[in-house]
């Protein structure tokens, strides 16, 4: 295996070696940007969006699930204490969450709870649609969400103190400090949340209260960056989360007694260096991810405690219009889980990828290739090809690439009285094809993307003849559709109006059944809306801002035979912002679910009715 690994490293690194040997030492290039993110570097041919940062939508109470619901076509399922995203008809485990280039999905389940992602702790939030496993590895099948802290080296000091009070016992306090000079950058953000979440809802003409839904927690995020010289920088990132939640029941079984505590600590050390035509980057991340779930009356006391070490070496080489990239990484997982055989399990994956691109003012092409090595899982080669054509205000783009998701620890090692894992599982693999058109002018931006994604060996837990549930590679899914996004501005004297419209049409169909009686074949996947749209308008007049958000989610099927479904729903949220001269502050009033709509995004889990949030931001 070592010989194969060495041979493949040579093969994948050959483009970089070949080009570097053809260039003399006398060639001088412009200095490469130190902080070019991985997702931007490899965004050729795809749809990549940055979420605009504002004081209202980047508050601690406005968690990442709300941000995605209001500003993207990503579908978010909210059930109990969990909120998960779904890109282009794929499952939540097909969405990768990246923290400054490091994957942070749970190695146990492959999921990430959006409630644990504070939108106010990062200065750069990006979304890559369509998945890019060649660059980001396992899990990037439907798409990738990027959480970044990007430093800058200009003399500046900022601080922001935010207080929020809202309906149903909501209370948050946040403090952030940002300071920079010519050679260092420092950022720290601390946030605390307390929320009873005891809203009222209707069930069979009876008004009920959402009980046992208390949440309390805090988050600390920091970044320190130091310029060693004009071409080298050292960075340290830290992220600590401690969140306690009562796990509510649903409307059919409302009396829950379960409690869940999530604790995580993440450390990231980075060294970057530019040397002539070369750019080096070395990362090491240490991630601690713990979950404790107890239900005393039911005598449940389960947990998992995970430690992940990720080491990465990255080399870029650029010559004229040719750009090459070579990367080596190692990912080591050590997990203790109360539901695993032998309690503790470990896993080591080494990976290598390379890319080569030609970039001119008109045409850009990129080819990349990835291979992963794991003694328990046979990973396929993962290629990708993308291209762009730029003509004045237009950009025509396209990509065809292979994506994959490795079986999780739960898929392989789970054991209980009624279920067991499967060590023989294959990685899920998908072929993604997309083509898009972008238009950009002073008053309007528009993009349109058609996508076609086929996922094979989809892992599904299936009940065996003996009654035991076990995961198997038994599903093949075809997901296709289109996305559209329009931004346009209107200026009328002192009134400025910024508008954004997002729409997605998505058919996601199961192609293979478990057996001849499987009614899911040919039907839309559950919890995958065919239509989803939102429209945002931001009115600015002198010291006032008025934000009008409208969201529409079409019918969502809740059974694989498509006989049962959740009705489509249309919600409206309003935000009023007034800039105050006192303490350079903003006073913000939010009204969520203006029309007090009774709706669900997951069967039997109601959403809050009309609710209010008052927010004060003090800026210095």
Residue 37, pLDDT score? 84
pLDDT above 60 for 26: no
CA–CA separation, 63 vs 54, rounded Å?
A: 14
Is there a contact between 478 and 438 (Cβ–Cβ < 8 Å)? no
Residue 500 lies in a domain: yes
Output the six-digit token pair for 117: 């992602």
Residue 135 lies in a domain: no
Residue 70 lies in a domain: no
| CA-derived radius of gyration, the chain | 24
Residue 63, pLDDT score? 79
Q: Looking at residues 174-193, what average pLDDT do you find?
A: 96
Band (pLDDT 50/70/90 cuts) for residue 389 is very high
Q: Looking at residues 578-582, what average pLDDT do you find?
A: 91
For 594-611, b/e burial (b = at least 16 CB within 10 A) is eeeeebbbbbbbbbbbeb
pLDDT above 90 for 170: yes
Residue 58, pLDDT score? 64
Residue 516, pLDDT score? 82
Is there a contact between 363 and 389 (Cβ–Cβ < 8 Å)? yes
Residue 52, pLDDT score? 80
| Cα–Cα–Cα angle for 37, 355, 365, rounded to 5 degrees | 90
Band (pLDDT 50/70/90 cuts) for residue 56 is low
Residue 56 lies in a domain: no
Q: What mean pLDDT is reported for the chain?
A: 91
Residue 2, pLDDT score? 45
Residue 43 lies in a domain: no
Residues 6+ away with beta carbon under 8 Å from 256: 80, 212, 246, 247, 248, 249
Residue 55, pLDDT score? 59
Strand order from edge to edge, sheet including 124-129 = 48-50, 124-129, 143-148, 95-99, 102-103
CA–CA separation, 602 vs 605, rounded Å?
A: 6
Query: Any idea of the CA torsion for 593, 599, 600, 605, to the nearest 10 degrees?
Result: 90
CA–CA separation, 404 vs 433, rounded Å?
A: 14
Residue 54 lies in a domain: no
pLDDT above 90 for 7: no
CA–CA separation, 374 vs 346, rounded Å?
A: 11
53 vs 279, residue with greater confidence: 279
Q: Find the range with the poorest average confidence among 11-15, 185-189, 358-362, 380-384.
A: 11-15
Q: Looking at residues 343-366, what average pLDDT do you find?
A: 96
Residue 28, pLDDT score? 28
Q: How many CA atoms lie within 13 A of 267 on its CB side?
A: 7
Residue 57, pLDDT score? 61
Domain count, the chain: 1
Residue 252 lies in a domain: yes
pLDDT above 60 for 228: yes
Residue 35, pLDDT score? 64
What is the domain-level CATH number for residue 551? Answer: 2.40.170.20
Q: Looking at residues 607-618, what average pLDDT do you find?
A: 96
Residue 513, pLDDT score? 83
pLDDT above 80 for 218: yes
Residue 52's nearest CA partner among 436, 547, 618, 396 is: 547
Band (pLDDT 50/70/90 cuts) for residue 18 is very low
444-476 per-position pLDDT tens digit: 999 999 999 999 999 999 988 899 999 999 889
Question: Where are the alpha helices (H) located in 118-264, listed in sequence order?
Answer: 133-136
Q: Which domain holds residue 532?
A: 2-20+155-619
Band (pLDDT 50/70/90 cuts) for residue 64 is confident
pLDDT above 70 for 14: no
CA–CA separation, 428 vs 178, rounded Å?
A: 42
Q: Find the range with the poorest average confidence among 90-94, 547-551, 579-583.
A: 579-583
| Rounded percentage of the chain residues whose pLDDT exceeds 70 | 94
Output the six-digit token pair for 434: 């997309």
CA–CA separation, 446 vs 486, rounded Å?
A: 4
β-pairing, 102-103 vs 95-99, is: antiparallel
491-524 per-position pLDDT tens digit: 999 999 999 999 999 999 999 888 888 899 999 9
H/E stretch holding 337: strand 322-337
Residue 477, pLDDT score? 96
Residues 6+ away with beta carbon under 8 Å from 212: 246, 247, 248, 249, 255, 256, 257
pTM recorded for the entire structure: 0.92
Residue 65 lies in a domain: no
Q: Looking at residues 400-421, what average pLDDT do you find?
A: 95
Band (pLDDT 50/70/90 cuts) for residue 16 is very low
Band (pLDDT 50/70/90 cuts) for residue 24 is very low
């Amino acid at each position: 295996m070592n010989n194969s690994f060495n041979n493949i490293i040579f093969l994948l690194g050959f483009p970089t070696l070949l080009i570097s040997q053809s260039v003399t030492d006398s060639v001088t290039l412009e200095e490469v940007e130190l902080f070019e993110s991985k997702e931007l570097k490899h965004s050729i041919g795809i749809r990549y969006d940055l979420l605009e940062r504002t004081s209202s939508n980047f508050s601690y109470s406005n968690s990442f699930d709300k941000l995605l619901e209001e500003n993207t076509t990503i579908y978010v399922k909210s059930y109990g204490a969990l909120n998960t995203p779904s890109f282009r008809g794929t499952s939540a485990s097909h969405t990768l969450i990246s923290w400054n280039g490091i994957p942070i999905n749970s190695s146990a389940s492959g999921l990430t709870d959006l409630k644990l992602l504070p939108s106010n702790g990062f200065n750069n939030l990006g979304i890559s649609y369509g998945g890019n496993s060649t660059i980001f590895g396992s899990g990037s099948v439907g798409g990738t969400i990027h959480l970044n802290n990007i430093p800058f080296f200009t003399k500046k000091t900022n601080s922001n103190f935010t207080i929020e009070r809202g309906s149903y016992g909501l209370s948050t306090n946040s403090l952030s400090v940002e300071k920079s000079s010519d050679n260092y950058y420092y950022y720290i953000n601390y946030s605390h949340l307390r929320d009873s979440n005891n809203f009222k809802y209707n069930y069979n003409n009876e008004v009920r209260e959402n009980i046992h839904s208390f949440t309390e927690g805090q988050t600390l995020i920091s970044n320190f960056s130091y310029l060693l010289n004009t071409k080298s920088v050292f960075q340290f990132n830290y992220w600590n989360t401690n969140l306690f939640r009562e796990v509510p029941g649903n409307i059919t079984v409302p009396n829950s007694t379960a409690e869940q505590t999530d604790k995580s600590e993440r450390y990231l050390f980075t060294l970057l260096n530019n040397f002539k035509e070369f750019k080096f980057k070395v990362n090491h991340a240490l991630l601690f991810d713990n979950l404790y779930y107890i239900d005393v009356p039911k005598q449940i006391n389960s947990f998992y405690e995970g430690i992940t070490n990720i080491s990465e070496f990255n080399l870029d080489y650029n010559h004229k219009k040719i750009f090459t990239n070579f990367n080596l990484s190692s990912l080591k997982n050590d997990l203790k889980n109360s539901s695993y055989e032998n309690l503790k399990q470990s896993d080591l994956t080494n990976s290598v990828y390379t890319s080569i691109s030609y970039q001119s003012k008109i045409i850009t092409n990129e080819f990349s290739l990835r291979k992963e090595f794991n003694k328990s899982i046979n990973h396929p080669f993962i290629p990708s090809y993308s291209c762009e054509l730029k003509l004045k205000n237009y950009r025509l783009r396209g990509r065809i690439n292979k994506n994959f998701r490795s079986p999780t620890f739960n898929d392989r090692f789970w054991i209980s009285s009624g279920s067991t894992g499967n060590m023989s599982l294959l990685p899920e693999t998908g072929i993604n094809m997309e083509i898009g058109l972008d238009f950009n002018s002073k008053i309007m931006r528009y993009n349109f993307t058609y996508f076609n994604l086929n996922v094979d060996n989809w892992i599904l837990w299936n009940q065996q003849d003996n009654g035991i549930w076990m995961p198997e590679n038994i599903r093949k899914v075809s997901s296709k559709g289109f996305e559209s996004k329009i931004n346009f501005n209107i200026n009328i004297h002192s009134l400025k109006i910024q508008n954004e419209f997002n729409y997605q049409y998505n058919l996601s169909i199961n192609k293979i059944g478990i057996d001849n009686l499987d009614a899911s074949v040919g039907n839309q996947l559950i919890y995958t809306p065919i239509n989803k749209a939102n429209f945002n308008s931001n009115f600015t007049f002198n010291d006032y801002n008025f934000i009008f958000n409208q969201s529409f989610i079409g019918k969502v099927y809740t059974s694989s035979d498509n006989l049962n479904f959740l009705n489509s729903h249309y919600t409206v949220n309003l935000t009023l912002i007034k800039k105050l001269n006192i303490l350079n502050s903003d006073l913000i009033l939010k009204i969520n679910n203006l029309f007090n709509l009774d709706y669900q995004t997951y069967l039997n889990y109601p959403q809050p009715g009309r609710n209010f949030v008052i927010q004060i931001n003090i800026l210095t």
